[in-house]
Chains A and B, each alone.
Chain A
Amino acid sequence: MANIRVVSEGGETIDEIAWTAQELDIHERPNGPAVAAIISAAIGVFVLGLLTTLSEANTDVHDFLDIKNRVGPLSGKTTFSVIVYLVAWSALVPVLWRRTVPFASAMLVAATLVALGLVGTFPKFFELFAD
């Protein structure tokens, strides 16, 4: 059964159902695995943006990323981004699996990486570096 807590706010009475982990039969897990998944995804997005911009800025990078001629450099950008994403995830998981880390700080890092990655994939930005 759930607890029903009665809270008074400014003279009003509010019925609030407050479920605890035990009542829901939840074995609470540390947030480390979630942080590992989110940070590694953010790293993947960041690398995608970075490679997109570098490919525009440098012909050597552009040619290096052209691993499948029919697809062009997009083949390398996406392949290497996914590889880095998966490697980052597999590296972070054993480190964070049983840990609880400061969630707000981790999300700030993730948000920064995702924002930079999105900027890096935006044509008006990466065209500024066109070689």
Chain B
Amino acid sequence: MILELTNRETWAALHGIILGGVFLLAFAGGLAGLWSLRPEWVTVQGLQERMNRLRLGVFSMAAVAWLTVITGTWIVYPWYRAKPPEGTEDLTDFPRSLLLSNPDTDQWHKFGMEWKEHVAWVAPILATAVAFIVLYYGKQLIVDKNLRYASIVLWILAFSAAAVAGLLGALITKSAPIQ
């Protein structure tokens, strides 16, 4: 069996599966790292290793979130919204038009894509704020509960935005894939 991806499918996979998937999967690690920065759960000896891992983790995830939305908006989305030439009957290569052509699927664009394309950008903005706080304050987060809890809330919000976008993206792709 030969597995072959078109250029568009490759970019869609990079955007949705690789970058988006990495962000969503790594969220739990970041959350656990932030949550466990508690005096009773860390030792002085283990602290340095944990902080280095958390700094690298949140910085990487913020960067991945930016790459995900940039590739999605500027590379993949134009293929999704491309208008078919006049008289085109086979809309397979025009996912937006394909979804809108059928009353059973038009909500995937009108609600699903319209929400996804906007809310996805919330994730990198909020994740960047968390990355800055972790990088700048470091182990102060252990003794500063306000900052730690604020970071956790922002991290969960960033994940939630990415999860909504990722889930809708997967479902829309199932109905009208970019190929």
- A64 interface residue, CB < 8 Å from B? no
Shortest beta-carbon distance, B179 to chain A, in Å?
18
- A129 interface residue, CB < 8 Å from B? no
Residues of B141-162 contacting chain A, CB below 8 A: 142-144, 146-147, 150, 154, 157, 161
- B136 interface residue, CB < 8 Å from A? yes
Chain A residues with CB below 8 A from B82, complex form: 70
Q: How many residues of A contact B (CB 8 A)?
A: 44
One digit per residue, 1 when the CB lies within 8 angstroms of any chain A CB and 0 when it does not, for chain B 108-152 equals 001100110111011001101100110011011011101100100
Chain B residues with CB below 8 A from A18, complex form: 39
Chain A residues with CB below 8 A from B39, complex form: 2, 17-19
Q: Looking at chain B's contact residues, is the secondary structure mostly helix, strand, loop, or mixed?
A: helix
Chain A residues with CB below 8 A from B114, complex form: 123
Which positions in A face B, CB cutoff 8 Å? 2, 16-21, 23-24, 26, 28-29, 31, 33-34, 37-38, 40-41, 44-45, 48-49, 52, 68, 70-72, 74-75, 77-78, 81-82, 85, 103, 107, 114, 117-118, 121-124
Additional A-B contacts beyond A34-B150, A38-B150, A123-B114 (4; CB < 8 A): A31-B144, A37-B133, A41-B126, A52-B118
